[in-house]
């Protein structure tokens, strides 16, 4: 008999693993409805193992979708079946994004809708406000226990005449039911009712962080339509503009600045517009780092091999060579590369490495945006240092709500600062609702904020796309230009990969697609890069070809 694993998270959302896929649901009621529909669709019985932080229950859904409890003997048999199939409690995420697969849910109403995300307030774009332009988020009141009158009525019902209970037991035994079976059924109904009712994490007396409700309804976004593409990349010509043969099974990385082709002993850089070779050299080991950047105001392609780095400036056929400090770390979070060697900071220039000012003790350097070095202490504020003059200015980030504090600095660079905010006591893995906030690096104001959970983005990375037009964190796609939320992937059951220019590879319901604007194109293309200035899409086709397609515009 197939087995479904149902896990209740700390924020009362539910993860379901069934038939080799994992889906997210707002509560247990929605999860059970999903499983009953699955049992009817497959025409077979389904065993459900419900886990609420150690409290486990086993249910059975028959082929018609009816729900019943499972006797102990069947529970043991179901457990044996799990061992035989080898299916664990957690589904695998083939994209490695950590977001998992999410099944589309019907619109919610009432308190459940307030806990949905992305939240729409005066900071969350791009939709127009659905309520007054205020950043305040109303508090939820904790639930109170039953009144004394209600308790008295329950006591009276509990003290019913003993003979009435005897007659009920006799009727149950004659009908084939036993008292323990009835008790289990009643407990199941109570448990499901409790799950379906919305819950609040923490109470005013608990000292634990409360859940953070949404101020308004979820931000609207245009639906994502599915289409079948007639070309390899949507918006680009079907006939290649250029095509180059590469060594079998070579490693290929493409950017707007060039296509890096690497074998065990050779590195080539091809022109992204023509496919012609710009540079070639023998190597002893593969590069560990390759990125687009700016050196002395000129766009460049930089790669690192061991303790040496190379920068191929646009228009040049010979790279600059740099000797790096042993064990130095390189960060491309900002518009310019930041090199960290202990407390010493530097960056690339045409004449060699240029030393940068060291921020104050206790500060962490995060990014180099042009001539500005961005650093911060954990509690803030943000410090922006002019690397030419050494002058510093502090920047207080606008708080999404007065009682929230920063629980994680996610990243900074390209004019934006990304942080996670929660109530005192919340952490990146506490399971509470938090605010994902994108600030402007110019003045600290909020560009957008999304109400979400630590399970969704607590440890997730802010992945900047090739071409720096979009960024992905968890299931969310953001514009790097204005910092606004572009799309919530969980609403369309989409798992985003690293964006390529304005095109975003994704998987929707196990189908690979390329998302462009509001359309998901069903194509099987290994898209490497989309160049903004020249309008080319670079793809890997087969084991030995790199192909460039010109934009239709």
DSSP class of residue 509?
T
Q: Count other Cβ atoms within 10 Å, centred on residue 400.
A: 24
CA angle 27, 30, 35 (to 5 degrees): 125
Alpha helices, H only, 274-314: none
Q: Count other Cβ atoms within 10 Å, centred on residue 360.
A: 11
DSSP letters spanning 142-163: PPP---HHHHHHHHHHHT--HH
Helix axes 28-42, 179-196, angle to 10 degrees: 120
Strand arrangement, sheet containing 329-331: 329-331, 338-341, 344-349, 352-356
Average pLDDT for consecutive 10-residue bins of the chain (553 residues)? 77 71 71 80 82 78 75 42 30 29 29 31 31 30 38 45 44 42 46 38 36 42 84 94 93 93 94 94 92 93 96 94 94 95 94 93 93 91 94 94 94 96 92 94 94 93 94 96 92 90 93 93 94 86 94 85
Q: Count other Cβ atoms within 10 Å, centred on residue 397.
A: 22
User: Which helix (DSSP H) or strand (DSSP E) does residue 58 occupy?
Assistant: strand 55-61
* 309's tokens: 């780095």
DSSP letters spanning 84-144: HHT--SS---TT--S-------PPP-THHHHT-SSB-STTS-SSPPSS-S----PPPPPPP
For the stretch 179-183, contacts whose Cβ atoms lie closer than 8 Å and that sit 24 or more positions apart, written own/partner, are 181/69, 181/71
Residue 306 has what pLDDT? 93
| Alpha carbons 460 and 3: distance in angstroms, whole number | 30
126 preceded by a cis bond (ω within 30 of 0): yes
- Of 354, 487, 360, 337, whose CA–CA distance to 414 is shortest? 337
Strands 519-522 and 225-228: parallel
Alpha helices, H only, 330-488: 454-457
pTM > 0.75: yes or no: no
Cα–Cα distance list, 189 to 258, 282, 542 (Å): 62, 70, 56
Residue 224 has what pLDDT? 86
| Alpha carbons 434 and 426: distance in angstroms, whole number | 8
Are 290 and 299 within 8 A, CB to CB?
Answer: no
| Alpha carbons 210 and 197: distance in angstroms, whole number | 17
| Alpha carbons 221 and 113: distance in angstroms, whole number | 16
* 481's tokens: 């230009």
* 551's tokens: 């934009």
Counts for the chain of helices (H) and strands (E), in that order: 7, 39
- Which residues does residue 204 pair with via DSSP β-bridges, in sequence order? none
Task: Judge residue 194's burial from the number of C-beta atoms within 10 Å of its C-beta, 0-12 exposed, 13-18 middle, 19 or more buried.
Answer: exposed
Are 524 and 541 within 8 A, CB to CB?
Answer: no
Are 290 and 528 within 8 A, CB to CB?
Answer: no
* Residue length of the chain: 553
Q: Measure the CA dihedral 316/370/292/438, to 10°.
A: -160
How many CA atoms are closer than 13 Å to the CA of 356, on its beta-carbon side?
Answer: 33
| Alpha carbons 325 and 336: distance in angstroms, whole number | 18
- Which residues does residue 29 pair with via DSSP β-bridges, in sequence order? none
Residue appearing with tokens 């005013």: 204
Cα dihedral 125, 128, 133, 139 sign: negative
DSSP reduced 3-state for 193: helix
| Alpha carbons 299 and 295: distance in angstroms, whole number | 6
- As a 3-state breakdown, the chain gives helix, strand, coil percent values, each rounded to 5, of 15, 40, 45
User: Which helix (DSSP H) or strand (DSSP E) does residue 4 occupy?
Assistant: strand 3-8
Helix axes 162-174, 179-196, angle to 10 degrees: 100
- Of 60, 81, 55, 63, whose CA–CA distance to 71 is shortest? 60
Residue 69 has what pLDDT? 62
Q: Which residues contact 159 (CB under 8 A, 6 or more apart)?
A: none
Backbone angles phi, psi at 506, to 5 degrees: -155, 170
Q: How far is CA 217 from the centre of its chain?
A: 21
| Alpha carbons 24 and 524: distance in angstroms, whole number | 26
Residue 404 has what pLDDT? 94
């Amino acid at each position: 008999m197939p087995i479904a694993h149902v896990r209740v998270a700390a924020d009362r959302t539910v993860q379901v693993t069934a038939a080799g896929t994992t889906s997210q649901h707002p509560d247990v009621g929605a999860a059970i409805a999903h499983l009953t529909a699955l049992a009817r669709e497959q025409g077979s019985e389904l065993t459900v193992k419900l886990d609420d932080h150690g409290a486990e229950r086993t249910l059975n859904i028959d082929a018609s979708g009816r729900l019943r409890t499972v006797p102990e003997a069947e529970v043991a048999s179901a457990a044996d079946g799990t061992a035989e199939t080898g299916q664990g409690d957690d589904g695998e995420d083939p994209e490695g994004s950590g977001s998992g697969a999410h099944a589309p849910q019907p619109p919610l109403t009432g308190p459940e809708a307030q806990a949905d995300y992305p939240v729409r307030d005066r900071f969350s774009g791009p939709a127009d406000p659905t309520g007054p332009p205020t950043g305040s988020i109303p508090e939820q009141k904790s639930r109170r226990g039953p009144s004394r009158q209600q308790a008295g009525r329950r006591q009276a019902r509990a003290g019913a005449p003993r003979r009435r209970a005897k007659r009920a037991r006799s009727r149950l035994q004659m009908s084939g039911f036993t008292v323990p079976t009835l008790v289990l059924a009643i407990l199941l109904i109570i448990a499901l009712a409790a799950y379906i009712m919305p819950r609040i994490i923490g109470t005013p007396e608990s000292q634990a962080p409360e859940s953070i409700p949404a101020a308004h309804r979820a931000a609207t976004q245009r639906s994502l339509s599915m289409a079948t593409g007639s070309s390899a990349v949507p918006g680009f010509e079907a006939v290649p503009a250029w095509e180059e043969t590469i060594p079998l099974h070579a490693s290929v990385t493409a950017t707007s600045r060039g296509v890096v082709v690497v074998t065990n002993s050779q590195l080539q850089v091809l022109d992204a517009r023509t496919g012609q070779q710009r540079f070639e050299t023998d190597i002893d080991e593969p590069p560990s780092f390759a990125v687009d950047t700016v050196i002395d105001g000129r766009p460049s392609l930089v790669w690192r091999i061991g303790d040496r780095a190379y920068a191929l400036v646009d228009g040049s056929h010979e790279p600059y060579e740099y000797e790096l400090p042993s064990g130095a770390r390189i960060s491309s979070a900002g518009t310019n590369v930041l090199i960290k060697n202990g407390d010493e900071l530097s960056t690339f220039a045409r004449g060699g490495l240029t030393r940068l000012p060291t921020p104050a003790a206790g500060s962490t350097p995060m990014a180099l945006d042009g001539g500005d070095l961005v650093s911060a202490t954990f509690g803030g504020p943000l410090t922006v240092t002019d690397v030419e003059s050494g002058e510093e200015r502090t920047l207080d980030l606008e708080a999404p709500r007065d009682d929230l504090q920063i629980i994680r600095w996610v990243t900074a660079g390209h004019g934006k600062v990304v942080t996670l905010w929660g109530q005192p006591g919340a952490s990146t893995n506490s399971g509470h609702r938090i605010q994902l906030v994108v600030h402007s690096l110019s003045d600290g104001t909020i560009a957008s904020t999304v109400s979400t959970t630590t399970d969704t983005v607590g440890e997730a990375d802010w992945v900047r796309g090739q071409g720096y037009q979009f960024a992905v964190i968890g299931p969310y796609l953001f514009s790097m230009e204005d910092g606004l939320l572009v799309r919530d992937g969980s609403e369309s059951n989409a798992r985003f990969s690293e964006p390529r220019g304005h095109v975003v590879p994704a998987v929707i319901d196990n189908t690979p697609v390329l998302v462009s604007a509001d359309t998901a194109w069903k194509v099987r293309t290994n898209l490497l890069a989309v160049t903004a200035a020249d309008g080319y899409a670079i793809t890997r086709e087969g084991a030995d070809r790199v192909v460039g397609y010109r934009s239709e515009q």
